[in-house]
Amino acid sequence: DAKTTQPPSMDCAEGRAANLPCNHSTISGNEYVYWYRQIHSQGPQYIIHGLKNNETNEMASLIITEDRKSSTLILPHATLRDTAVYYCIVIYNAGNMLTFGGGTRLMVKP
Amino acid sequence: GAVVSQHPSWVICKSGTSVKIECRSLDFQATTMFWYRQFPKQSLMLMATSNEGSKATYEQGVEKDKFLINHASLTLSTLTVTSAHPEDSSFYICSARPLTSGHNEQFFGPGTRLTVL
């Protein structure tokens, strides 16, 4: 599975959009981009995934660049409860294993 | 959404004892469950892949005789930490992928915090 690179930490003001970047320059054509988050002392939670088109659900939006070498997870109106570590994972859809990197620690501040 | 539970949520034990952790998918079936370990301020590390009805597949560096995994049904996998030592103190998390899922979404349990004295 392709390796991902994320900034270790980010701050965001409550109510503002949080934009979390992820680089995956070695992604192959069959690999999807998945985003999970982990709130302190809890198990990770699935957020969203995509292949090449932008995706949106009730939690977030995922913007994937045309060359697919990077993506951005957008939380449109961050709340204090969105404070968590966000993991970007690249994986074949039929695969099983999720390999977690360091993630981005997002701190939403009042 | 699908729910995965773990029991116990927190356990403290003496060095040398064995601890069993259960992982259950409550409203879906999963042929495959995964066990992760997470040390403080670190990311999740996959320990093993648990397949229903067959032997688990362990990641490099994880001792299969120390971390016994049993996946007896489509909704239950157990991890037993045998002869636990203080260095085994960690946050153990399981996940399950629904049998019917068309993509790689996995549902995680809330985790079990193990403290070995």
Longest dimension (CA), chain A: 40
**CB-based contact, B107 to chain A, within 8 Å:** yes
Q: Is B62 on the interface with A (CB under 8 A)?
A: no
| Residue B7 with chain A: CB contacts under 8 Å | none
Average pLDDT over residues A95-108: 87
Residue among B45, B49, B108 whose CB faces A44 most closely: B108
Quote helix, strand, coil % in chain A, to nearest 5.
5, 50, 50
> What are the residues of chain A with a beta carbon less than 8 Å away from any beta carbon of chain B?
32, 34, 38, 41-46, 49, 87, 91-103
Mean pLDDT of chain A: 92
Binning pLDDT at 50, 70 and 90, where does residue A71 land? Answer: very high
What average pLDDT does the segment A54-76 reach? Answer: 96
Q: By C-alpha distance, which of B5, B55, B64, B2 is closest to B28?
A: B2
Closest CA of chain B from A36, distance in Å: 10
- Confidence band for B112, pLDDT divided at 50, 70 and 90: very high
Distance from CA of B18 to the nearest CA of A (A): 23
Q: Is A42–B111 a contact, with Cβ atoms under 8 angstroms apart?
A: yes
Would the pLDDT of A64 be above 70? yes
User: How many angstroms separate the CA atoms of A99 and B13, rounded?
Assistant: 29
Residue B55, C-beta contacts closer than 8 angstroms, at least 6 positions apart: none
Residue predicted with more confidence, B106 or A17: A17
d(CA B71, CA B32): 9
Nearest CB among B43, B103, B108 relative to A49 is that of B103
A82-98, pLDDT tens digit by residue?
999 999 999 876 566 78
**What is the band of A1 on the pLDDT scale with cuts at 50, 70, 90?**
low
- For residues B101 and B11, the model is more confident at B11
- What pLDDT digit, counting tens, does each position of B37-93 carry? 999 989 999 999 998 888 899 999 999 999 999 988 999 999 999 999 999 999 999
Residue A30 has pLDDT above 90, yes or no: no
Res A101: pLDDT:
87
Torsion, CA A98, CA A86, CA B61, CA B94, rounded to 10:
-60
State percent of chain B over pLDDT 70: 97
Query: In chain A, count of helices (H) and strands (E)?
Result: 0, 9
CA–CA min distance B53, chain A (Å): 17
The pLDDT score that the predictor gives to residue B57 is 92
Can you give the pLDDT at residue A93?
A: 67
β-sheet bridge partners, residue B69: B79
